Amino acid sequence: MKNLRVQIILGIGLLVLLSHTASAQWVQTNGPEGGRILALAMSGSNIFAGTYGGGVFLSTNNGSSWTAVNTGLTNTDVKSFAISPNETGGKNLFTGTNGGGIFLSTDNGT
């Protein structure tokens, strides 16, 4: 009887643990403002968001704030990103646009 009671208690504990773990929570970030987000990329602690009509936005604090990084970007309809290491130890950020070609930044878009 004692063994059955322990099994019941363990089973209830497991159900409580599983129901708590299964209820993941999403928290909305503060933006970015400037259009629909069509692409996301991460490089280290930098998060890049590509928007339709607003260009590229950068967050360095997990989405709490966003900064537009569009210097030299002549088409702000961003569809995709690709990141690769460059010869100086930094990162190349490639941005594909809708009808405007591919752009390269070696300084996080600034």
The pTM assigned to this predicted structure is: 0.74
Give the integer Cα–Cα distance in Å for 64 and 32.
9
For residue 7, pLDDT over 70 is answered with: no
Which tens digit of pLDDT belongs to each residue from 40-84? 999 999 999 999 999 999 999 999 999 999 999 999 999 999 999
Strand-pair category, 55-59 with 67-68: antiparallel
Q: Which residue has the tokens 């010869």?
A: 87
